Amino acid sequence: MTTPADAADHGLLSPQWAGLEIAQVTSDAAIVHAMLDVEVALAWAWEELGFAPTGTGQTVAGVREGFDVDVAELAARSRSGGNPVIPLVKDLRSAVAETDAAASVWVHRGATSQDILDTALMLVASRAIRQMRRDARATVESLVTLAETHRDTLMVSRTLTQHGVPSTFGVKAAGWLAGVVRAAAALERSHDALPVQWGGAGGTLSAYAVIGGEGTGLRVASLVAERLGLADSVPWQTQRAPVVELGATLAQLAGALGKIAVDVLLLARPELGELGEPSAAGRGGSSAMPQKQNPVLSVLIHSAARQAPGLAAELQRSALAVDERPEGAWHAEWQALRQLLRLGGGAAEAAAELTGGLRVYPEAMRHNLGMSGPLVVSERLMIEYGPRLGRDRLQELVTRAAGDADADLGALLRAEPELAEVSDSALAESLDPAHYLGDARLIVDRVVAGVREGGEA
């Protein structure tokens, strides 16, 4: 009735990444490709070291080119041994044997399933990160522009949901920038450190030494790493630091992007109206309400960022890996890691688009800042006039102004005898939010300069 292919996920429940390039790069097909890349690299390594006959690498690579894998069937067959490498190798070896029996001996020789799958996932991660990097860079550029453009754009800071002191949108954008730059730098380091995982049956590279003498396994690992563009490494089958660190970095990136999204989701509410998502034909519509323009990019980034920590924690738990290949912890990693790559990639692409076209409404920012009137500078008033008026008296005036829409804090202060010698212009300046920005501009400058110098702010 239904064929195995019907069981496929195409991302229907994952608008965070469905249809994007990241979906391709991390698909089952992409993972099969990566596993085959690893097997081919192994064949080449045997040849390069002089053990496999000349041409073995080319033969395996050639067979692989035309090698047709039914991924759904392969997935179903993977249950029997608990991983997809076993059936894949069986088929590949047969296919090579049809072309060249001698070459087929060298297929997967010395390797174990975990070597292939771990290394393939590192390859897939590397490819996925390259995309995130591209998008993260675009986001960084957009945020630099936003921070500089709005270095003097007044807005209110908000703490515990209430109005705090005056600030600028430049400071907010600089904060976003600092977070993304730091996460992107961590991602860069993580990418460059992605290692080959090569340990053979039990982590000793046992079979290689029989064939080529002691040291052969480590040499093969180096050659495989080199060909695949990964870092060299001793075996790490049950020392999962590379996966743990990668997961933490991806969660950090998702979090840095998610911070932008939650701010936009708030500030684009109709009652605030300070920001708006870039519009795109057809995006953000509703199936029920024709007037809706939903902030879909931010929703998708936010929902991706919510999920990332749980997945990263799953990877951290994989560190509790007993033996030389654990009895469940390893298997629990695979899908979590892929899901993290997808959510990170989807969030990165959406964030590049969001920050690239973010609509900023300085008038709404100014309007909202004005809502609280001079209360927004009450901290300043406490500093400047507290000593003369007494903190309690000033608190009393502020409380009165806060509780009564008709009370004017400026007028209340003007009426205090202790402040008689304060000039009207001095008082006016004290009450002006634009004159109470602290080091806002310096903070923007420092963050932007840090980015320009290639640092992390």
Among 98, 130, 192, 323, binds its own copies (CB under 8 A): 323
Q: Which is nearer to its own copies, 142 or 430 (CB)?
A: 430
Regarding 312 and contact with its own copies (CB under 8 A), the answer is yes
Question: What's the rounded Cα separation, in Å, for the pair 386 and 51?
Answer: 85
Regarding 210 and contact with its own copies (CB under 8 A), the answer is yes
Among 111, 128, 143, 187, binds its own copies (CB under 8 A): 111
Q: What are the start-end ranges of the H helices in 12-110?
A: 21-25, 28-48, 56-65, 71-77, 85-99, 101-104
Q: Which is nearer to its own copies, 23 or 63 (CB)?
A: 23
- Residues 429-448 binding its own copies (CB under 8 A) are 436-443, 446-447
Question: What's the rounded Cα separation, in Å, for the pair 130 and 124?
Answer: 10
CB 27 within 8 A of CB 72: no
- Residues 404-423 binding its own copies (CB under 8 A) are none
- Residues 269-308 binding its own copies (CB under 8 A) are 269-272, 280, 282-296, 298-300, 302-303, 305-308
Using the rule CB under 8 A, give the single segment among 44-52, 60-68, 309-317, 412-420 that binds its own copies.
Answer: 309-317
Q: Provide the minimum distance between the beta carbon of 400 and its own copies in the complex, in angstroms, as a whole number.
A: 11
Using the rule CB under 8 A, give the single segment among 48-56, 59-67, 102-110, 134-142 that binds its own copies.
Answer: 102-110
- Active centre residues (catalytic): 286, 325
Q: Provide the minimum distance between the beta carbon of 77 and its own copies in the complex, in angstroms, as a whole number.
A: 7
Q: Which amino acid is at 254?
A: A
Q: Provide the minimum distance between the beta carbon of 102 and its own copies in the complex, in angstroms, as a whole number.
A: 10
Regarding 166 and contact with its own copies (CB under 8 A), the answer is yes
What one-character-per-residue DSSP string does 356-413 give? Answer: HS-EE-HHHHHHHHHHTGGGGGHHHHHHHHHHHH-HHHHHHHHHHHHH-TT--HHHHH
Q: What is the DSSP letter of 10?
A: -
Q: Would you give the end-to-end CA distance of the chain in angstroms?
A: 59
CB 251 within 8 A of CB 340: yes
- Structure tokens of 171? 């400071």
- Structure tokens of 116? 């292939």
Regarding 162 and contact with its own copies (CB under 8 A), the answer is yes
Per-residue mark of binding to its own copies, 362-391 (x: CB under 8 A): ------x--xx--xx-xxx-xxx--x----
CA 224 → CA 39, 121, 203, 232, 241, distances in Å?
9, 14, 16, 9, 20
Q: Provide the minimum distance between the beta carbon of 16 and its own copies in the complex, in angstroms, as a whole number.
A: 7
Among 60, 132, 398, 419, binds its own copies (CB under 8 A): 398
